Amino acid sequence: MSSFSQNPDPDYEPDEFDLMTTQVPMVSPLQTMFAWAAEHLQATRPDGVDVTDIGRLAYDSLPAEEREQASNELFYTYWEATLADEEALVHSEDLRAQRQELRRLLGQYEDLMGSSSPVPYVLLDNIARLSLPLMGSAA
């Protein structure tokens, strides 16, 4: 959200700086410290870094007044990742069912082609309908 859209003054007109920075993403103090901690630890530990070490250093380096916001950000991020995992699992199960149905339809197509029987348009339509999303080219 842009800073000028939060301005309570109805007569407020954004200046050129406000307009230029509306598309600049806001970076939280935790994001800043996490990036710093990752860079610092990777430079000082060439054998590898554990993400928990980065997170702890970042969190511990924050001023005390910013830690509650950082905790909330971590909780929110964890929740969003959990929801995304659940959605990915459902999507994966949907794709598996689509692949099974496509295999069945392709079997029908193969049987019809082997017997020199005409292939119904609806069969080709269903094969295309299932193939495109599985290939990732469907809108």
pTM of the model: 0.55
Give 101: exposed, middle or buried? Use CB within 10 Å, 0-12, 13-18, 19+.
middle
- Per-residue pLDDT reduced to its tens digit, 51-75: 999 999 999 999 999 999 999 999 9
- Per-residue pLDDT reduced to its tens digit, 74-110: 999 999 999 999 999 998 998 899 999 999 999 999 9
Residue 100 Cα distances to 103, 110, 127, 129, angstroms: 5, 15, 12, 13
What is the rounded distance in angstroms from the CA atom of residue 93 to the CA atom of residue 89? Answer: 6
